[in-house]
C-alpha cells in the first residue's frame, strides 16, 4: 500500500481532460438556461404587446419526397426540347423553292399553302427572301385549279390573307400583282359565303375598289381591243424578229462606214454629252416601264373586279343576297365609265339581267311561281301607300302619303 500510492487512479493528463469537459458542459447548460430564460421573458413581453401570427396551412403540409431514381430525372431532361429553331436565310430559300415546286400540284396545294403561312408567321419573309416568296404566290396562281374551287377555296383564302402581312417586303410591281391576286383569291371567295354579314361587307369593299378606278380612256379601249392573249404572243415574236433585223442592219452599216476600225483610235470630244444622253435614256426607259406596269395593273384590276361582280351576281337566287346584289350591280352600272368597252358591255348586260329578275319577282313570275320578294321590297311596297297623320304616325288616317320613305 505504501509503495504505490497512485495505484488504480487514471493518469493526470486524462483526468484533466475529463474535468475540462465536465466544466464546459456545466457552463453550456448554464448559458442555455440563461438564453432560454431571456427568450421566455422576451416572448412573454411580446405576447403582452402583440398576438402571435397564425401558422400557415402550407407550412403544415408534408414536403414532397425527392425522387431517388436518377434515370427518371435524366429521362425528364431529355424530353425537353426547343419548339422553334432559328433557320438561316439559305435554309429558308431552299424551303421556299420546295414549296413553290409542290404548290402547283392541286393534291399538294393544301399542305404547301400551310407551310407557306408558317413561314409568313415566323417572319421568314424578308428583303433577301421576298423574290422566292413571290415565286410561291405566282406558282399558286398558276395552278390549274381555280381559286374558287370548293376543294381549295379555303386554302387560297388563308394563304393570300396571310400574305398581306408580308406585302411590305415586296416591290411596287409585286404589290400591285398581289392586290389583283387578293381580289381573285379572297374577295371572290367571300362572295361564296353563307354569312350575310361577310357578303355585305365584301360588297362594300368591291364598291370602294370600283370607285378607286380611274376613268377609262380611248387608249385603254384600243389597247384592250388590240391586246388579246393570242395576239400578244404573236406580236411579241414579231417584235423580237424585227428587233434582231434592225440590230443586224445597224451592225452592217457600222462595219461599212468603218471597215478598218480607225474610229476607235480617234479621241472623242463629246464624252460628257454621251453620258448625259445615256442618263436621260435610262430615266426615259424607267418612266416608260412604270407607265407600262401601271397600265397592266389597271387592266388586271378591272378584270378581277368584273370577275368578282359576276360571281356575286350568280348568288341572286339566294333571297338574302338579292338586295345587296341589286345595290352592287347598280353601283357598277353608275360607274361604268371606269371600265373599258368590253367590260362596259358586260356590266350593262349584267344590270339588265338583274333588273329583269327584279321585275319578275315583283310580278310573281319567278321560278317558283310565287311572289318572291325580299323583306326590303315588301316593306317598300307596303308603306308606299300608307298615310301619315299630323302626329307623324304611319298608318293613321291622314291625308299625307308616304311617298319618299323607302323610295
The answer to whether residues 373 and 359 touch, using CB atoms and an 8 Å cutoff, is no
Higher pLDDT, 42 or 331: 331
Tracing cell 465536465 back to the chain, one arrives at 22
Residue whose C-alpha is closest to residue 137's, from 100, 108, 97: 100
φ, ψ of residue 401 to 5 degrees: the values are -90, 145
**Neighbouring residues of 164: CB distance < 8 A, sequence distance ≥ 6:** 178, 182
> Global pTM?
0.59
Q: Taking 60 as the threshold, does the pLDDT of residue 134 lie above it?
A: yes
Cα–Cα dist 198/385, whole Å = 34
Contact 104, 143 (CB under 8 A): yes
Q: Tell me, what's the pLDDT at 245?
A: 60
Is residue 292 very low, low, confident or very high in pLDDT (cuts 50, 70, 90)? confident
- What is the arithmetic mean of pLDDT over 259-282? 60
Q: Burial code of 24-48, b = ≥16 C-beta within 10 A, e = fewer?
A: eeeeeeeeeeeeeeeeeeeeeeeee
- pLDDT for residue 51: 54
Confidence of residue 379 (pLDDT cuts 50, 70, 90): confident
pLDDT at 65 over 60: no
> Could you give the CA distance from residue 92 to residue 56 in angstroms, rounded to a whole number?
55
- Name which residue leads in pLDDT, 285 or 40: 285
- Which pLDDT does position 389 carry in this prediction? 61
Helices (H), 82-129: 89-102, 109-121
Res 362: pLDDT: 72
Q: Residue range 229-240: average pLDDT?
A: 57
φ, ψ of residue 394 to 5 degrees: the values are: -70, 135
Given this model, what pLDDT does residue 199 score?
A: 95
The β-bridge partners of 388 are 394, 400
pLDDT digits 0-9 by tens, 146-205: 888 988 999 999 999 999 999 999 999 999 999 999 999 999 999 999 999 999 999 999
pLDDT at 364 over 80: no
Residue 326: which residues within 8 A CB-CB, separation 6 or more? Answer: 354, 358
What integer pLDDT is reported at residue 232 of this predicted model? 54
pLDDT band, residue 47 (cuts 50/70/90): very low
All three cell numbers of 78 = 431529355
pLDDT digits (tens, 9 = 90+) for 71-123: 554 455 454 444 444 678 889 999 999 999 999 888 999 999 999 999 999 98
Q: How many CB atoms are located within 10 Å of the residue 153 CB?
A: 17
What pLDDT, on the 0 to 100 scale, is given for residue 35? 45
At 233, the pLDDT band (50, 70, 90 cuts) reads low
**What's the pLDDT score for residue 161?**
94
Q: In percent, how much of the chain has pLDDT > 70?
A: 56
Considering the chain, what is the average pLDDT of its residues?
Answer: 74
The whole-number average pLDDT for the span 283-305 is 85
What number of residues does the chain have?
407
pLDDT at 262 (0 to 100): 53
What's the confidence (pLDDT) of residue 175?
92
Amino acid at each position: 500500500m505504501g509503495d504505490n500510492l497512485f495505484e488504480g487512479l487514471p493518469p493526470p493528463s486524462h483526468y484533466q481532460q475529463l474535468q475540462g469537459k465536465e466544466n464546459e458542459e456545466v457552463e453550456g447548460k448554464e448559458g442555455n438556461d440563461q438564453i432560454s430564460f431571456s427568450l421566455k421573458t422576451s416572448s412573454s413581453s411580446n405576447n403582452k404587446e402583440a398576438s402571435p401570427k397564425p401558422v400557415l396551412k402550407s407550412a403544415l403540409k408534408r414536403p414532397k419526397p425527392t425522387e431517388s431514381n436518377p434515370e427518371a430525372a435524366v429521362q425528364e431532361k431529355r424530353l425537353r426540347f426547343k419548339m422553334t429553331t432559328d433557320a438561316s436565310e439559305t435554309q429558308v430559300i431552299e424551303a421556299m423553292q420546295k414549296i413553290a415546286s409542290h404548290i402547283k400540284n392541286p393534291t399538294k396545294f393544301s399542305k404547301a399553302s400551310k407551310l407557306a403561312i408558317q413561314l409568313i408567321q415566323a417572319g421568314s419573309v424578308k428583303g433577301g427572301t421576298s423574290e422566292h416568296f413571290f415565286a410561291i404566290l405566282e406558282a399558286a396562281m398558276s395552278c390549274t385549279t381555280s381559286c374558287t374551287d370548293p376543294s381549295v377555296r379555303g386554302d387560297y383564302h388563308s394563304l393570300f390573307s396571310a400574305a398581306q402581312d408580308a406585302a411590305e417586303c415586296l416591290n411596287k410591281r409585286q404589290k400591285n400583282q398581289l392586290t389583283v391576286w387578293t381580289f381573285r383569291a379572297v374577295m371572290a371567295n367571300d362572295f361564296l359565303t353563307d354569312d350575310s354579314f361577310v357578303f355585305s361587307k365584301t360588297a362594300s369593299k368591291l364598291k370602294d375598289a370600283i370607285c378607286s378606278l380611274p376613268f377609262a380612256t380611248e387608249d385603254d379601249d384600243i389597247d384592250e381591243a388590240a391586246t388579246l392573249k393570242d395576239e400578244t404572243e404573236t406580236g411579241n415574236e414579231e417584235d423580237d424578229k424585227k428587233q434582231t433585223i434592225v440590230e443586224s442592219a445597224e451592225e452592217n452599216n457600222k462595219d461599212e462606214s468603218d471597215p478598218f476600225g480607225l474610229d476607235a483610235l480617234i479621241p472623242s470630244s463629246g464624252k460628257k454629252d454621251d453620258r448625259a444622253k445615256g442618263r436621260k435614256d435610262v430615266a426615259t426607259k424607267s418612266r416608260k416601264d412604270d407607265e407600262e406596269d401601271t397600265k397592266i395593273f389597271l387592266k388586271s384590276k378591272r378584270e378581277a373586279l368584273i370577275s368578282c361582280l359576276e360571281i356575286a351576281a350568280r348568288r341572286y337566287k339566294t333571297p338574302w343576297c338579292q338586295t345587296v346584289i341589286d345595290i352592287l350591280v347598280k353601283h357598277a352600272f353608275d360607274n361604268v365609265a371606269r371600265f373599258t368597252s368590253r367590260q362596259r358591255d358586260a356590266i350593262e348586260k349584267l344590270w339588265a339581267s338583274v333588273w329583269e329578275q327584279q321585275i319578275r319577282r315583283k310580278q310573281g313570275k319567278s321560278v317558283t311561281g310565287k311572289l318572291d320578294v325580299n323583306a326590303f321590297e315588301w316593306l317598300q311596297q307596303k308603306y308606299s301607300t300608307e298615310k301619315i297623320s299630323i302626329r307623324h304616325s304611319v298608318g293613321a288616317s291622314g291625308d299625307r302619303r308616304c311617298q319618299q320613305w323607302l323610295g
